[in-house]
Structure 1
Amino acid sequence: MTHSEIMLDYLDEGQIDEAMKEFAKALRKDNDATLFSLAEELYSLGFLAQSKRTYERLLEKYPEEDTLRTFLADIAISEGKSDEALNYLSEIDEDSDAYLQSLMVAADLYQTQGMFEVSENKLLTAFRLAPDEEVIQFALGELYFNTKQFSQAIGFYLELIKAGQTELSQVNLVQRLGVSYANSGQFEKAMAYLEQIHLENMDSDTKLQMGLTYLQLNDQQKAIDILYDLKEEDPSYTSLYPILGQALSNENRLNDALLVYQEGLSVDEVNDTLYEQAAVVALKLDDEKQAEKYLNKAIDINPDNTGILLQLSNLLVKQERDDEDVKLLEDIKSDGDVDPQIFWNLAISYERLENYEKAEENYLEAYPYFTNQSDFLRSVIFVFRENGRQEELQDAIKHYLALVPDDQEIIDIQNDIND
């Protein structure tokens, strides 16, 4: 047996000290081919320092072997030594047999640094040099997938699958392609691939994606089935609860939906989305007290979420709690770009509080956004008439009668104006 083989046996038995003694002997006595194999094996086992020493010994003897530089650069990346990795790679010329591999290693380095455009350029250069090389196609697919450029990932995964590859580096390419199609809005194509994967072979992310895709395809029951399966398998996977609850709500299974949201909140009690969705269902169940509780919880977590604030405002307006509504909304209004429904809600509350100046101000702010809403227009017609805004009044009447042409009271107001 070679000293390299003895070393690996000691490592397998957990005898590290004895293994290191044999390693020193291997560097002195084993032939170069054996040392090259040893370096590869040590790298795969995570003994980076020993692998590096072996490659360095070989590079001293074979300085023209650029492949050794790519291996050393790869180790430097694993050790977080970016400058050292770049030094090795910069020594490899474009006419070197190892140039293609150096591009791949450089792409990996730049990805670890978050320099995805530079990484992409390296991979595209490699792709132009070797367009049929599957490892390059896979690397580009993974880069685009992980940077959420799903439409660009599709072509690379598709080519690999057409070539007969369904898995590379323990990555399921069928799953990747299905998820990429789904995130590109091509839901039917997504399901054609995702449904090829056996349920027992799916990871949690794939099950969630399938549930979401079924939801997009309006197949609520299939979404419910796979997400319940995911919940049973991994109840701590919090992303499933909003989607499962939505599917149940779409099927009008409101009590089940509320229970799912409550279960989700027991896992993730600071999820403002779950509180918001639970509030919506509680309102549908006519439980306004519970809905308000959920909305206030959501606001405590995310006070800048105007959607949640507006839902609470809608509830306060419905309950005629106008002082509270004004207090809630005035600060939001001052922030600038806001939902125009806020102006409408404020107008209603101010009008009921008999602050007609403020009511008119907010009706005017809201008016351009609701000229197709008959309820709004009918209210604003009386405000404009009361305050003598003839131009706005006539415009509001015109829009309103286009929607409700047989409202005699508004017709009479129009006739009075024309007389």
Structure 2
Amino acid sequence: MTFGQYWDDWVERRRQLKDIRESTLLGYISPWKTHIRDVLAGVRMDRLFVPVVEQVFTRIDQKNQALLAARASDDPTVRASVRGKRITGPVTQQRIRATIRTVLASAEREHVVTFSAAKLVKLEAGKKAKGVVWTKARVEAFGLAYEKRLAAERAAPVKPKKPLERFKVWLSTPRPSPVMVWTPAQLGAFLDYAASDRLYALYHLVAFRGLRRGEACGARWLDGDMDEGVLATAKQLINVGREVKEGSPKTESSDAVVALDAVTVAVLRAHKVRQNAERLSWGPVWTDTGRIFTREDGRELTPDWVSEHFERLTFAAGLPPIRLHDLRHGAATLSLAAGNDMKTTSAMLRHSSVSITADLYTTVLPLVAREAAEASVALVPRATAVGETSVTGGLPSVSHGTNRESQADTGSRKPQVGPATKSRAGGT
């Protein structure tokens, strides 16, 4: 039996037994088709040694190098051939290995193989990307990169079949990190721009209460109590291939109750009024799904479409790009910046442990970091006032008091600090 034959049998059994989520199974099938099948499908199960499995990742490295070379090419046609394609990074490679390990673990339990070679394959540690704030300097650098890429696309001798869309160029322009976070001013600019959009309440809910995309799309009116200011995240909608299916929350801790602030409650009540008007407008053809957020005719939203709609609103608002899920990162950052402790923020996000919150969602905004630094300096009493840089170019000069009384008076004062830089939509 070859690995490809065992794989087909394993997938079919998973579908029959339904012992893993369909979305998870699709998450296994995707790397199989993209990276694993071409290398391992024809290999006999008793020949799956470590060097054989390593060839999967050798092939990935070769594809990555070719992709990077094409991006750096002076030929616009070559660059166009890899537009929209991404390298397969360490985190993704870890997931690919995990896919092979999962299948071989079943084979080992069934005595089809004597050991799992995937366990012994060494890969670069996959570190999850940390959130990076869109500061003013990063926004300006991104804008220049976008304009340069747009000009190159317009000057390309080989024109694409479809008309050039500025949004697509903007979306494909590299960002400082896969996980980007807006400043409060940028978030405010987006919310102001999107205030008249029919899905404004969904984006507001994600931005301030940290719901996941699927949880927001799957939220039902019966799960909420606007008078009490709570919303239970009991269901989520997920894309399974081209279909949208209802499922349970991501983890056991995700199935919890989210506290709603007064502003969010008011936003949801206004959304209910809008939805009722749409219900009356559509009449008998309205589809009553019970969802808080729906299409105009009441049908369920497609999560992928909700993400693209969010990105198009962001582009139209003239803001730097972030993913819809990055609003969740921003909600955590805003919570911490507002003075909430890690445990409170972790509970809002419904993480299984505080350490997960600390690892993933503790992006500190530049303004908050500066205020913390100023507060730290203010705690230290000084007998001398730090002046301007000395003429020698060395350490800053200091002004000594003329007598003990003046020194005591100087020591009683707090250091003079300038006002914090005000946030703008372009960054802080």
TM-score range, shorter chain: under 0.3
Q: Whose helix proportion is higher, 1 or 2?
A: 1
Q: Scaled by the length of structure 2, what TM-score is found? A: 0.26
Q: Scaled by the length of structure 1, what TM-score is found? A: 0.26
Higher relative contact order (CA 8 A, sep 6+): 2
Q: Whose strand proportion is higher, 1 or 2?
A: 2
